């Protein structure tokens, strides 16, 4: 551990900054939801290849579980894992604890009510409402809301929004108390707290209660995109700007590029949303605007990736020896692929062919799993041994976890991307619809196996996790991982 700048005051003890139990709890809950989401995905994948053994059971309907799949990965896995990682990184970066521990635990419980409510609402809501006469006449649906990535039933939306506000308050306390220019991570986090709240409010309330038709579609597009771009992306990059320098024990290569990356993303990302609904009745000039901004984002992203790869230059052996670093950089490679793909697919030429197809589904998996889940799993690989003061039980299982996840995901993304091209041409050639479904079958079969590989990777992780935990409970085990000490303003400024 190095200090680039002398600490402005005596470095506080780790135990006074971080409540490790809350980090641990968030991570374990997140992993539970990851498994749930994967099982839901498997159900839908089996349905598509017409081998769903549970077809015809109302509460296991693939239509409902498809929404569970996406919502649980966004709000159950990513949000919980982010909150855990924030509880570790924000106090250690700011050298101040969060506003209040009791608030932290309250948020933890409240957020699980939100996620469970979402899952239960989507799965049970329509059934309850149809069979309980008292619920039938309710003016709103107990089940899913008709907004992609925002299927959170309408009755949970206010609670979720309140939760997001509390999260912002709790983490903004240590950030606002610190003085002077902020480190990159803090920019991303601060912006994310504002954006997530605004995005959630905009997407879940406006199309439901005030706007209709095409303009509601425009807001829906903004919501889909902002959820990834303004909630997941800034938190993810903020964590990367924190963990990569910490683990490589050197500052970011260029502070200037960090600035370009943040401000470019902040300006262009919110303008992208409508590219999800190209060729709809949304005014064409707005569609053009979204396309141009999307391509601008990809250029900005390139600067961020260049900055990170320049940072690891000279230490690239860490990619082999340091597992979390390998997770992070693999995620960044996938991020580069995703963004390159995005710059192409957002053009009207590509859209005509691949919109509505599995290309988009492959793209979504590449982003949500290939980038952000990979980063969070890397962070977990780094933090579990530190929290338990015990090295991983099996390095080999860690490797299996990595390789099965990475290869499985990449196979799935390639497979679905290719499937999308086929589907696009089937449709454009005006062959009967069934031909496109039949033609997709081989790709869908491959997708099942790719998904199973990813699931197997997580099983390796869970076994390893359980054995490591048992090891940590055994008396007399040498504490091979030292007590972590926070770094005072590590990497505030780069060398360039």
CA distances from 213 to 184, 206, 208, 385, 445 (A): 39, 11, 11, 51, 37
* Choices 46-54, 92-100, 296-304, 330-338; region in contact with another protein by CB under 8 A: 46-54
SS3 266: helix
Our CA dihedral for 47, 358, 79, 454, rounded to 10 degrees, sits at 60
Q: Which residue in 212, 316, 485, 495 binds another protein (CB under 8 A)?
A: 212
Q: Which of 110, 116, 161, 286 binds another protein (CB under 8 A)?
A: 286
User: Which residue, 69 or 326, has its beta carbon nearer to another protein?
Assistant: 69
Residue 104: both structure tokens together: 């932290």
Determine which residue in the list 110, 161, 310, 353 makes contact with another protein, applying CB under 8 A: 353
d(CA 404, CA 456) in angstroms, rounded, equals 7
Name the token pair of 446: 């491959």
Question: Least distance from C-beta 209 to another protein, angstroms?
Answer: 8
Cα(3)–Cα(275) distance, integer angstroms: 44
Return the number of other C-beta atoms located less than 10 Å from residue 161's C-beta: 16
Least separation in angstroms between CB 207 and another protein: 4
Dihedral-angle region of residue 77 (phi above 0 means left; psi in -120 to 50 means alpha; beta otherwise): alpha
Contact pick of 110, 120, 266, 319 for another protein (by CB under 8 A): 266
Number of residues that bind another protein (CB under 8 A): 96
The residue within the footprint of another protein, chosen from 250, 276, 326, 365 (CB under 8 A), is 276
Map the footprint of another protein across residues 424-443, applying CB under 8 A.
Answer: 424, 427-428, 430, 432-434, 437-438
Q: Residue from 91, 119, 174, 217 that binds another protein (CB under 8 A)?
A: 217
Judged by DSSP in three states, 329 sits in helix
Strand ranges (E), 29-173: none
Among 11, 35, 112, 215, binds another protein (CB under 8 A): 215
Nearest distance from C-beta of residue 354 to another protein, angstroms: 10
The interface with another protein within residues 141-200 (CB under 8 A) comprises: 141, 143-148, 175-176, 181-182, 186-187, 190-191, 193-195, 198-199
CA separation for the pair 411, 453 (Å, rounded): 10
Among 113, 340, 356, 399, binds another protein (CB under 8 A): 356
- 293 vs 458, which CB is nearer to another protein? 293
**Cα–Cα dist 277/217, whole Å:** 8
What is the nearest approach in angstroms of another protein to the Cβ of residue 10? 24
Q: DSSP letter at 77?
A: I
- Residue from the set 47, 118, 330, 341 that interacts with another protein by CB under 8 A: 47
| Rounded Cα–Cα distance for residues 58 and 126 (Å) | 10
Q: How far is the CB of 84 from another protein (least distance, A)?
A: 23
Q: Is residue 230 involved in binding another protein (CB under 8 A)?
A: yes
Which residues between 231 and 260 bind another protein (CB under 8 A)?
Answer: 259
Instruction: Find the binder of another protein among 271, 337, 368, 374 (CB under 8 A).
Output: 271
Tell me how crowded residue 55 is: count the other CB atoms within 10 A of its CB.
13
Contact between 357 and another protein per CB under 8 A: yes
CB of 364 to another protein, least distance (A): 10
**Within 292-351, which residues bind another protein (CB under 8 A)?**
348, 351
Q: Which of 48, 164, 454, 488 binds another protein (CB under 8 A)?
A: 48
Question: Cα Rg for the chain, rounded, in angstroms?
Answer: 23
Asked whether position 421 contacts another protein by CB under 8 A, the answer is: no
Binding flag, residue 371, another protein (CB under 8 A):
no
Work out how close the CB of 261 gets to another protein at its nearest, in angstroms, rounded to a whole number: 12
Contacts (CB under 8 A) with another protein, residues 86-125: 122, 125
User: What is the dihedral angle through the alpha carbons of 369, 374, 379, 381, rounded to the nearest 10 degrees?
Assistant: 110
Is residue 487 at the binding interface for another protein, with CB under 8 A as the rule?
no
Q: How far is the CB of 436 from another protein (least distance, A)?
A: 9
Q: Which is nearer to another protein, 31 or 190 (CB)?
A: 190
Please check whether residue 114 is in contact with residue 165, taking contact to mean a CB–CB distance below 8 angstroms: no
78 token code pair = 């990513």
When asked if residue 58 is in the footprint of another protein (CB under 8 A), the reply is yes
Q: Let me know: does 332 contact 370? Beta carbons within 8 Å.
A: no
Q: Is the dihedral of CA 337, 345, 78, 394 positive or negative?
A: negative
List 30, 72, 108, 290, residue binding another protein (CB under 8 A): 290
Cβ at position 141, least distance to another protein in Å = 5
Residue 285: exposure state from Cβ atoms within 10 A (0-12, 13-18, ≥19): exposed
DSSP state of 314: T
CB 444 within 8 A of CB 376: no
């Amino acid at each position: 551990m190095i200090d680039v700048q002398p600490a402005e005051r005596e470095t506080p003890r780790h135990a006074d900054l971080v409540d490790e139990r809350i980090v641990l709890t968030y991570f374990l809950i997140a992993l539970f939801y990851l498994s749930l989401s994967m099982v839901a995905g498997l159900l839908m994948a089996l349905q598509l290849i017409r081998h769903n053994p549970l077809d015809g059971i109302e509460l296991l309907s693939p239509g409902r579980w498809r929404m569970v799949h996406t919502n649980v990965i966004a709000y159950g896995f990513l949000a919980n894992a982010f909150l855990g990682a924030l509880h570790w990184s924000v106090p250690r970066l700011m050298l101040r604890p969060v506003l209040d521990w009791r608030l932290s635990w309250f948020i933890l419980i409240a957020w699980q009510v939100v996620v469970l409510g979402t899952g239960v609402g989507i799965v049970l809501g329509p059934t309850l409402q149809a069979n309980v006469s008292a619920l039938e006449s309710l003016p709103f649906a107990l089940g899913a809301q008709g907004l992609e990535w925002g299927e959170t039933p309408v009755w949970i939306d206010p609670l979720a929004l309140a939760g997001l506000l509390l999260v912002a308050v709790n983490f903004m306390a240590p950030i606002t108390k610190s003085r002077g220019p902020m480190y990159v991570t803090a920019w991303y986090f601060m912006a994310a707290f504002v954006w997530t709240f605004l995005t959630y409010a905009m997407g879940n309330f406006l199309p439901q209660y005030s706007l209709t038709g095409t303009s509601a579609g425009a807001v829906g597009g903004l919501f889909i995109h902002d959820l990834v771009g303004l909630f997941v992306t800034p938190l993810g990059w903020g964590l990367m700007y924190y963990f990569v320098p910490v683990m490589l024990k050197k500052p970011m290569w260029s502070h200037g590029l960090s600035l370009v990356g943040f401000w470019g993303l902040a300006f262009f990302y919110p303008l992208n949303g409508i590219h999800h609904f190209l060729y709809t009745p949304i005014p064409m000039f707005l569609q053009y605007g979204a396309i141009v901004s999307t391509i601008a984002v990809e250029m900005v992203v390139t600067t961020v990736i260049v900055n990170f790869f320049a940072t690891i230059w000279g230490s690239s052996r860490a990619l082999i020896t340091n597992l979390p670093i390998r997770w992070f950089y693999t995620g960044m490679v996938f991020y580069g692929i995703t963004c390159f793909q995005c710059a192409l697919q957002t053009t009207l030429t590509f859209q005509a062919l691949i919109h509505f197809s599995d290309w988009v589904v492959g793209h979504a998996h590449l982003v949500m799993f290939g980038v952000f889940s990979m980063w969070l799993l890397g962070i977990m690989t780094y933090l579990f041994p530190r929290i338990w003061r015990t090295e991983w039980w099996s390095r080999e299982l860690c490797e299996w976890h990595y390789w099965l996840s990475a290869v499985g995901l990449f196979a799935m993304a390639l497979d679905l991307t290719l499937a999308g091209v086929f589907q696009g041409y089937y449709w454009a050639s005006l062959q009967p619809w069934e031909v496109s479904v039949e033609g997709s079958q081989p790709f869908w079969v491959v997708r099942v196996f790719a998904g199973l590989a990813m699931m197997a990777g997580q099983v390796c992780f869970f076994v390893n996790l359980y054995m490591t935990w048992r090891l940590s409970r055994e008396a007399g085990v040498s504490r091979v991982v030292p007590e972590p000490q926070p770094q005072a303003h590590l990497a505030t400024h780069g060398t360039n």
